[in-house]
Amino acid sequence: MMGPGGMMGPGRTGDQGAPMGMIGMMRILINPATVPPGQVSFRVTNAGALNHELVVLPLAKGQYPGQRAIGPDGKVDEAGSLGEASRSCGADKGDDNATNTGIASGASGWTTVNLTPGRYELICNITGHYWTGMYAELDVSPIA
């Protein structure tokens, strides 16, 4: 992911590389955009003013980022989610109450998932955020 000052850190760490970067006000930027299959850790920094989260969802053949149906609650269905970074300064899912949901402004969170080759959509599923464009595509394929 890229921020206003450029890439945040080396971009790859760990066994299979770790996509890292920033969640801005209403966008998700990832770097690198392609990773090899296997265990992948997502380190997420919230560069926006609002709380955000990162949910990892597989994309079906013919499906593109931004095409998920948005429910009356302003969220998309997370069925099939492989992981979620939604806790400030911590791993995986955050608290489910409305006052402590998501990664706070200026804070970081992370999650580690096992990804097979394919395409994935990384989204913020806090009410209304997906609709405003908070999604990005991650490709998982062997890197030569």
Number of domains in the chain: 1
9 is a domain residue: no
2 is a domain residue: no
73 is a domain residue: yes
3 is a domain residue: no
CATH number of the domain at 61, please. Answer: 2.60.40.420
Q: What is the pLDDT of residue 25?
A: 57
Local confidence pLDDT in tens for the 144 residues of the chain:
322 222 222 233 333 445 655 565 588 989 999 999 999 999 999 998 899 999 999 999 999 999 999 999 999 999 999 999 999 988 887 655 444 479 999 999 999 999 999 999 999 999 999 999 999 999 999 975
113 is a domain residue: yes
* Residue 32: domain span: 19-140
The DSSP code sequence of 85-105 is E-BTTEES----SGGG-BBPT
12 is a domain residue: no
pTM assigned to the model: 0.80
Q: What is the pLDDT of residue 7?
A: 26
User: In this predicted model, what pLDDT tens digit does every residue of 80-99 receive, in sequence order?
Assistant: 999 999 999 888 876 554 44
